[in-house]
Amino acid sequence: MLYSYNTEKLLGIKDVIIKNIETNNKSNEIYIEIPVKEQKCPCCSMVTKRVHDYRTQKIRDICGYGKQTIIVLRKRRYRCLNCGKCFYEKVSFLPKYQRMTRRLVEFVIDELRNESSFTSVAKRMSLSVSTVIRIFDIIEYGKPKLPKVLSIDEFKGSAGSEKYQCIITDPENRVVLDILPKRYSYYLTSYFKDMDKKNVEFFVSDMWKWYAEIADTCFKNSVQIVDKYHYIRQVIWAFEAIRKEVQKMFNKTHRKYFKRSKSLLVKRFDYLTDEQKQQVNVMLYVSPKLCSAHFLKELFFKVLDTTDKDTAKKLMSEWILAAQASGIPNFKNCANTFINWSKGILNSFDYPYTNGFTEGCNNKIKVLKRNAYGYRNFNRFRKRILHMFSHQKDKIMAAV
């Protein structure tokens, strides 16, 4: 009796009678039976305990001890004495018309919250890939409710017929809201058309032209913010172009030295040690053009130290004039870009919202895509991404 109770406790299923356990190299088969109980007829709702016959059913369960677990259930059919209807007894751990336990289905769905592929989950659970996909297809995610802060970005998904997909997030609460198959203006306009946009106070994006158009048409009353990373890297790219141009003029030894000293040149001069500052000064002394580019880069970093929009506007105007007067085409183009995106760039100094969370999500999506060797079906790809980040919504609901 004690042995039976411990086995039942280890199995994790209550109110069953364990008849036998057979094991081999690949699987453990557990033979069980449910005690005879009063059952309600599905037709007339009368209660009966009359057993009509028995059927044996094999049920797949969660793998244990490195082997597949199969529950062999001796299942009863009851007969209603009132209407004569024959029906199966209710099994708490087995969904209707299924041949796998409820907890196995829940475990597979929970495992798919990770970046694992369908194939790897199927191997761990000793299931077929098609079975895992069929379980996952039960999940559905509809259109979200737009938050106070809306962040939008694209990533290379290559799902369906498009190369780039679009991700919409709530950076304030760190929640992924939706994945869209296209990033173009006409599609985004139709997507946001019927949605309630009154709650959106801030619209965060990178410097993609269609996002600016969407912000002006669909979110007129919201504050448009350009992500800091995307306009800072414009200056870094301009400086890096000058560094590469200058280092090509030297011999092989000096060229390698410049290339290996890239981090010293890009890093803020104030953050360097005295020895590193001396090394940078030597490199800048070699080329007046590189010295001018380095001066503009450092001047721009001082603009980033400001904490309010008005001061940033004044310093940014001075930097744009200096870049245009420098005679360096790369920084002239950078200055023109800042003029075109001045509204969103200046707003980033007054508000703390960025695309940092969204970019982190994109990195995780790339891991998911790489593990699965890509997705052809966009709808399944979308659901997989939303399911992978669904635990974030659960945490917010629990906190509320």
pLDDT tens by residue, 263-311: 888 999 999 999 999 988 988 888 899 999 999 999 999 999 998 899 9
Please write the tens of the pLDDT for every residue from 258-268.
Answer: 788 888 889 99
Task: Please give the backbone phi and psi of residue 216, each rounded to the nearest 5 degrees, phi first.
Answer: -75, -30
Give residues with Cβ within 8 angstroms of 154, minimum separation 6.
Answer: 164, 165, 166, 167, 183, 208
Are residues 301 and 377 both part of a single domain?
no
Rounded distance between C-alpha atoms, residue 148 and residue 199, angstroms: 5
Taking residues 241-259, report their average pLDDT.
Answer: 83
End-of-domain residue from the set 95, 129, 164: 95
Predicted local distance difference test score (pLDDT) of residue 4: 55
Whether residue 163 lies inside any domain: the answer is yes
Rounded distance between C-alpha atoms, residue 381 and residue 167, angstroms: 12
On whether the pTM is more than 0.95, the answer is no
Query: Domain range for residue 233?
Result: 228-347
Name which of 91-95, 179-183, 379-383 the model is least confident about: 91-95
Give residues with Cβ within 8 angstroms of 353, minimum separation 6.
Answer: 149, 151, 171, 172, 202, 204, 225
Rounded distance between C-alpha atoms, residue 103 and residue 3, angstroms: 24
Q: How many domains does the chain have?
A: 4
- Cβ–Cβ under 8 Å, residues 79 and 48: yes
- Domain with residue 360: its CATH number is 3.30.420.10
Which secondary-structure segment (H or E) carries 287? none
Are residues 209 and 242 both part of a single domain?
no
Are residues 157 and 169 both part of a single domain?
yes
pLDDT of residue 111 exceeding 90, the answer is: yes
Are residues 14 and 90 both part of a single domain?
yes
Are residues 236 and 318 both part of a single domain?
yes
Query: If you search the block for the tokens 């590189």, which residue do you land on?
Result: 290
Taking residues 71-99, report their average pLDDT.
Answer: 88
Please write the tens of the pLDDT for every residue from 15-46.
Answer: 788 888 888 888 888 898 888 888 889 889 89
Rounded distance between C-alpha atoms, residue 365 and residue 168, angstroms: 13
Taking residues 109-133, report their average pLDDT.
Answer: 92
